[in-house]
Structure 1
Amino acid sequence: METLLIIVSGKLYVNPDVRDKYLVGCLDVMERARATPGCLDFVLTADPLEPDRINVYERWESDAHLHRFRDTGPEPEQTAEIREAQVAKYRISSSEAP
């Protein structure tokens, strides 16, 4: 059976006046994710063009690794700040250098 790499990417929207505070509040989540077995990359960043947008990028070895981490869930305060989320999970069967 072929192993598929999992990529989660997209964007979150929060009020511009809370975006920086929101991202500071996510530092612990990013550190925990990157220390989690199976996490190959995890970052939430401020978008340079849209003041209310946060870019999401995660790369995982498998669905199982992703779900084990997701079971810890975000803090309720963080979830409440999100006005809109457009995030998707992709299953990648192969990759190559550009």
Structure 2
Amino acid sequence: MRVWLACFLVLFALAELFDWLQEFNLPLPIYILGGAFLAVASNYDKIIGSYFADSSIEASIEQPQLDSLTSSTNPISFPIASSVEEAKTSQTDD
């Protein structure tokens, strides 16, 4: 009997709450701000997380390139730098 009484009270409270919410009105700017907040909150990881994810990806891509900046190992990526270094070495050999 207690379960039936508890279910009746919960359903009665939900029905009264639903009736009260149907009569509750907010101004239009509140709805617009609420929608904007929900849009930002639901896409937070895409908006904010992309900044941190992109920087870590760029750093991991740039690091091997920075480690191999010699004219003998990477002449195609930096043709100007390698030709300048070759010119310097040919001048010192003469």
TM-score normalised by length of structure 2: 0.21
Task: Tell me which protein shows more helix as a share of its residues.
Answer: 2
TM-score normalised by length of structure 1: 0.20
Which structure has more relative contact order (CA 8 Å, sep 6+)? It is 1
Task: Tell me which protein shows more strand as a share of its residues.
Answer: 1
